């Protein structure tokens, strides 16, 4: 019987995939397996973000460098030359640029992650894929800009006849911490932004406040000793001080700060993941 | 375990009314939080009544199975729940209750060119869209030449999409989708766009795939497409399956129901002390009780609220078609009504109407006129099988199952 034959044939392929569609249930159903299966799509999203960002721009990737560079010039002039803020004895351009590098990466990635759900509204309402890929790809695609502006940092250091210390091997770990922070905040804000569009007005303020709560324009040593523990809960404190230390060897290794930061990031990330997953089930209905 | 490719069990999806419209603003939330204590003082009953109204079931109690290799069409009016059903199956949104199981690789085409970006070239978009639709990188690489050839836009494959004509973009987008090789394909009206020749090419490509055992769920408003592509059709109305059957039967019933225009609405002569406010067919499922699916017997119930005693009235009920011809009417004995909730019930052994829409009236009358008259809302949709003469000139008002036979009752007639 021909029909019976084909049925069996398909039976074999059917054993492979089976999808069960149910109402959303449980807080801890993170579907990380689906996320892993869709990792190729993550690559495509990152690739798309990078490709599109500099299409039809006059100076292309130079934008990645321009923003931290100009900020560095302004900071060196006003906070450095005029306000005479202590800088671990570093030349102001190195002091500020080494902080603005991770800071700019964090701030732009966090902002990109926040708007990613709303930006991809059309795709979200038309096809299924793990929505988590969107904020994740947003924080990954910022890494390219980071690497480009990192090259300029090496240039600035060479100009001042400095070379990165051996501690620079810690840089990838510090960058990862900045990435996870941006993702943790981005998960919260992108999900909130899908429901409450006011969030996008809040984010610029958040970025501004956060910068002054991080040792970008000043060294962490200016903060009184007894408030340091609270200060260290801001993951960017450890990251930025870590960058300065790893690159120049000046200041002290922020190991205790980093431990506190890591704990704070993991809590932020876990909460963000759970909240995002909770919103994800109805994202297509509300976005 | 059943052998079905798609299995749905009591699927339901509830939306908050307005959820799809303007997004919430944080300030609204703050405003509601601010006034919440005040509202609590106003009493609980008011609040819960309001809350019940804020939800809408777009789909409810929907169960069906689709066999492997079957091509099923979904038809129904806008807002009937077709797209909601498709979105649940495509996993774009989650159901509120019930479950569905799909066996096999799912491909969903709820839109042509999902994920296409105008700044990227045709080539880049093939890769991006393919990945979003669920193809692996290796798979796209393997099929790339075939996709481009099918789309007939080889020359422009390295041109940014924004310079494409809309037709070219659509062809490329559909080519990507047509090479998905899913086992279960969910399609939402996407063939309604693009040029005619390419449409034909896509349809035959889909037909080709279907020969290979592909299961397809297909939403369309174009009945010709449905007839040509689908063997089975589900007619969705008011969030539930109204009819399920062969595409010929269901499409015919649907078309004759839809060919009706809308009624001229007369407000009726609404009473002050007594009002009809709801009607329904008892045999029909609760959520769409304005649908008649059987020839009978039929019980129709009209709910009546009486505020002050009403003396000496006659109940009066009737049914008109879309040209306001009275199909049936009747009145009952004179009665007195006490304040409270009442139900007027009529029982008809059969109601052999042609598929279409009809409108009931329900009233209370006295010798000199109406005490209450309601032009019932919503209209009644008749969705029964069609038993009409093949020749249109002989199409009849009544629509009844029949058997026609000739029996020989006597032998040779002697002259």
Q: Give mean pLDDT, residues A128-148.
A: 93
**B143 pLDDT exceeds 70?**
yes
Distances (CA, A) of A177 to A272, B90, B199: 15, 36, 51
* Neighbour tally for B262: CB within 10 Å: 9
Residues from chain B contacting residue A134 (CB–CB below 8 Å): none
Q: What CATH number does residue B102 fall under? A: 3.40.50.300
Distances (CA, A) of A124 to A101, A183, A286, B17, B354: 32, 19, 11, 20, 43
- Residue B331's DSSP bridge partners are B316
Residues from chain B contacting residue A41 (CB–CB below 8 Å): 131-132
Taking an 8 Å cut-off on Cβ atoms, the answer to whether B131 and A125 are in contact is: no
Taking an 8 Å cut-off on Cβ atoms, the answer to whether B19 and A285 are in contact is: yes
Torsion of CA B254, B257, B262, B267, to 10 degrees: -120
Does one domain contain both B224 and B80? yes
Would you say how long chain B is, in residues? Answer: 415
A11 belongs to a structural domain: no
DSSP assignment of B353-372 equals BPSEEEEEEEEEEETTEEEE
DSSP state, residue B80: S
DSSP state, residue A219: -
Taking an 8 Å cut-off on Cβ atoms, the answer to whether A14 and B183 are in contact is: yes
H helix or E strand, kind and range, residue B312: strand B310-320
Task: Extract the tokens encoding A129.
Answer: 């894929």
- Residue A217's DSSP bridge partners are none
Does one domain contain both B13 and B147? yes
Given B15, B69, B90, which is nearest A128 (Cβ)?
Answer: B90
Q: Predicted confidence band at B214 (pLDDT cuts at 50, 70, 90)? A: confident
A8 belongs to a structural domain: no
* Neighbour tally for B197: CB within 10 Å: 9
| Closest C-alpha among A268, A264, A127, A261 to residue A186 | A268
The whole-number pLDDT of residue A147 equals: 93
A24 belongs to a structural domain: no
Q: What percent of chain B has pLDDT over 70?
A: 82
Residues from chain A contacting residue B101 (CB–CB below 8 Å): 18-21
Task: Extract the tokens encoding B209.
Answer: 């795939």
Q: Give mean pLDDT, residues A216-237.
A: 88
Does one domain contain both B304 and B218? no
Mean residue pLDDT across chain B: 81
- CA-atom Rg of chain A in angstroms: 22
- Residue B109's DSSP bridge partners are B187
- Residue B368's DSSP bridge partners are none
- CA-atom Rg of chain B in angstroms: 28
**C-alpha neighbours within 13 Å on the C-beta side of residue B178:** 25
- Inform me whether the C-beta atom of residue A3 falls under 8 Å from chain B C-beta atoms: no
B263 belongs to a structural domain: no
| Closest C-alpha among B229, B237, B164 to residue B199 | B229
Residues from chain B contacting residue A20 (CB–CB below 8 Å): 99-101
* Neighbour tally for B245: CB within 10 Å: 14
H helix or E strand, kind and range, residue A162: none
B221, B256, B291 — which closes off a domain?
B256
B256, B287, B312 — which closes off a domain?
B256
Note if the bond before B378 is cis, omega within 30 degrees. Answer: yes
Residues from chain B contacting residue A48 (CB–CB below 8 Å): 117, 120, 128
DSSP H helical ranges for B78-136: 82-89, 122-133
Who has greater pLDDT, A109 or A29? A109
Does one domain contain both B106 and B188? yes
The whole-number pLDDT of residue A5 equals: 35
Task: Extract the tokens encoding A56.
Answer: 């039809």
The whole-number pLDDT of residue B273 equals: 76
Taking an 8 Å cut-off on Cβ atoms, the answer to whether B213 and A10 are in contact is: yes
Residue of A nearest to B138 (CA): A40
Q: Which of B26, B57, B120, B162 to mutate to test the interface with A (most CBs of A within 10 A)?
A: B26
B222 belongs to a structural domain: yes
Specify the residue for token string 């509601």.
B32
Using alpha carbons only, what angle is made at residue B79 by residues B73 and B81, rounded to the nearest 5 degrees? 50
Q: Which residues are CB-contacts of B238 (< 8 A; sequence separation ≥ 6)?
A: B80, B81, B287, B288, B290, B291
Q: Domain range for residue A237? A: 30-286
Task: Extract the tokens encoding B414.
Answer: 């002697």
Does one domain contain both B243 and B299? no
Calpha distance B310→B274 (Å, rounded): 8
How many domains is chain B partitioned into structurally? 2
How many domains is chain A partitioned into structurally? 1
Calpha distance B77→B242 (Å, rounded): 12
Taking an 8 Å cut-off on Cβ atoms, the answer to whether A285 and B93 are in contact is: yes
Paired sense of beta strands B369-375 and B298-306, if any: unpaired
* Neighbour tally for B177: CB within 10 Å: 26
pLDDT (tens digit per residue) in A43-82: 999 999 988 888 777 777 788 888 899 999 999 999 988 9
A6 belongs to a structural domain: no
ipTM tops 0.85: no
Does one domain contain both B249 and B357? no
Would you say how long chain A is, in residues? Answer: 287
B101 belongs to a structural domain: yes
Please give, rounded to a whole number of angstroms, the shortest distance from the CA of A101 to a CA of chain B: 29
CB B173 within 8 A of CB B150: no
Calpha distance B402→B388 (Å, rounded): 10
SS3 for A195? Answer: helix
Calpha distance A112→A134 (Å, rounded): 10
Distances (CA, A) of A98 to A102, B44, B128: 7, 59, 35
Does one domain contain both B196 and B286? no
- Residue B380's DSSP bridge partners are B358
Does one domain contain both B245 and B284? no
pLDDT (tens digit per residue) in A235-263: 999 999 999 999 988 777 778 888 888 99
Please give, rounded to a whole number of angstroms, the shortest distance from the CA of B49 to a CA of chain A: 23
Whether the model clears a pTM of 0.90, i.e. scores above it, the answer is no
A22 belongs to a structural domain: no
pLDDT (tens digit per residue) in A85-135: 888 888 999 999 999 999 999 999 999 999 999 999 889 988 889 899 999
- Inform me whether the C-beta atom of residue A7 falls under 8 Å from chain B C-beta atoms: yes
B204, B225, B256 — which closes off a domain?
B256
Please give, rounded to a whole number of angstroms, the shortest distance from the CA of B168 to a CA of chain A: 20
Q: Domain range for residue B216? A: 6-29+41-256
Taking an 8 Å cut-off on Cβ atoms, the answer to whether A23 and B111 are in contact is: no
SS3 for A216? Answer: coil
Taking an 8 Å cut-off on Cβ atoms, the answer to whether A41 and B131 are in contact is: yes
Q: Which of B4, B27, B94 to mutate to test the interface with A (most CBs of A within 10 A)?
A: B94
Taking an 8 Å cut-off on Cβ atoms, the answer to whether B132 and A129 are in contact is: yes
């Amino acid at each position: 019987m021909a029909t019976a034959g084909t049925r069996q044939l398909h039976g074999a392929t059917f054993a492979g995939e089976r999808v069960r569609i149910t109402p959303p249930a449980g807080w801890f159903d993170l579907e990380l397996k689906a996320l892993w299966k869709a990792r190729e799509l993550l690559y495509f999203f990152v690739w798309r973000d990078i490709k599109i960002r500099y299409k039809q721009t006059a100076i292309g990737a130079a934008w990645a460098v321009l923003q931290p560079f100009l900020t560095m010039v302004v900071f060196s002039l006003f906070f450095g030359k005029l306000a005479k803020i202590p800088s671990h004895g570093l030349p102001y351009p190195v002091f500020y640029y080494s902080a603005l590098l991770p800071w700019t990466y964090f701030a732009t990635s966090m902002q990109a992650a926040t708007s990613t759900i709303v930006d991809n509204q059309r795709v979200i309402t038309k096809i299924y894929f793990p929505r988590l890929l969107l904020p994740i790809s947003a924080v990954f695609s910022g890494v390219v800009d980071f690497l480009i502006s990192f090259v300029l940092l090496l240039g600035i250091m060479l100009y001042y006849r400095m070379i990165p210390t051996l501690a620079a091997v810690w840089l990838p770990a510090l960058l990862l911490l900045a990435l996870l922070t941006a993702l943790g905040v981005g998960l919260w804000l992108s999900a909130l932004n899908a429901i409450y569009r006011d969030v996008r007005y809040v984010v610029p303020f958040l970025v501004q406040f956060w910068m002054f709560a991080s040792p970008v324009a000043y060294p962490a040593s200016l903060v009184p000793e007894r408030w340091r523990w609270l200060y260290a809960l801001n993951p960017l404190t450890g990251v930025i001080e870590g960058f300065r230390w790893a690159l120049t060897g000046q200041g002290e290794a922020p190991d205790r700060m980093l431990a506190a930061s890591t704990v704070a990031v993991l809590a932020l990330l876990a909460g963000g993941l759970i909240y995002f997953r909770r919103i994800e089930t109805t994202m297509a209905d509300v976005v | 375990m059943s052998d079905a490719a798609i299995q749905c069990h009591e699927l339901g999806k509830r939306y908050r009314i307005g959820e799809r419209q303007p997004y919430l603003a944080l300030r609204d939330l703050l405003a509601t939080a601010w006034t919440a204590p005040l509202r609590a003082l106003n009493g609980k009953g008011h609040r819960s009544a309001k809350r019940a109204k804020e939800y809408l079931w777009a789909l409810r109690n929907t169960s069906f199975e689709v066999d492997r290799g079957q091509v099923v069409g979904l038809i129904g009016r806008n807002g009937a729940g077709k797209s909601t059903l498709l979105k649940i199956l495509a996993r774009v949104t989650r159901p509120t209750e019930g479950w569905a199981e799909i066996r096999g690789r799912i491909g969903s085409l709820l839109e042509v060119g999902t994920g296409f970006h105008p700044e990227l070239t045709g080539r880049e978009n093939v890769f991006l869209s393919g990945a979003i639709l669920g193809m692996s990188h290796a798979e796209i690489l393997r099929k790339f030449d075939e996709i481009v050839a099918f789309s007939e836009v080889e020359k422009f494959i390295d041109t940014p999409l924004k310079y494409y004509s809309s037709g070219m973009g659509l062809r490329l987008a559909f080519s990507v989708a047509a090479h998905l090789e899913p086992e279960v394909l969910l399609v939402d009206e996407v063939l309604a766009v693009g040029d005619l020749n390419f449409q034909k090419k896509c349809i035959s490509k889909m037909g080709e795939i279907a020969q290979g055992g592909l299961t397809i769920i297909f939403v369309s408003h174009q009945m010709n497409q449905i007839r040509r592509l689908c063997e089975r059709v589900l007619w969705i109305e008011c969030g539930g399956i109204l009819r399920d059957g062969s595409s010929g039967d269901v499409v015919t019933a649907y078309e004759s129901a839809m060919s009706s225009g809308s009624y001229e609405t007369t407000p009726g002569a609404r009473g002050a002390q007594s009002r009809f406010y709801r009607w329904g067919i008892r045999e029909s499922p609760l959520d769409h009780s304005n649908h008649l699916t059987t020839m009978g017997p039929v019980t129709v119930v009209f709910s009546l609220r009486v505020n002050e005693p009403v003396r000496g009235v006659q109940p009066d009920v009737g049914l008109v078609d879309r040209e306001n011809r009275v199909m049936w009417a009747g009145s009952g004995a004179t009665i007195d009504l006490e304040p409270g909730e009442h139900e007027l019930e009529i029982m008809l052994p059969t109601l052999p109407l042609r598929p279409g829409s009809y409108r009931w009236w329900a009233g209370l009358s006295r010798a000199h006129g109406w005490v209450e008259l309601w032009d019932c809302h919503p209209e009644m949709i008749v969705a029964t099988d069609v038993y009409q003469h093949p020749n249109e000139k002989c199409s009849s008002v009544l629509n009844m199952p029949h058997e026609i036979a000739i029996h020989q009752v006597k032998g040779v007639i002697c002259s």
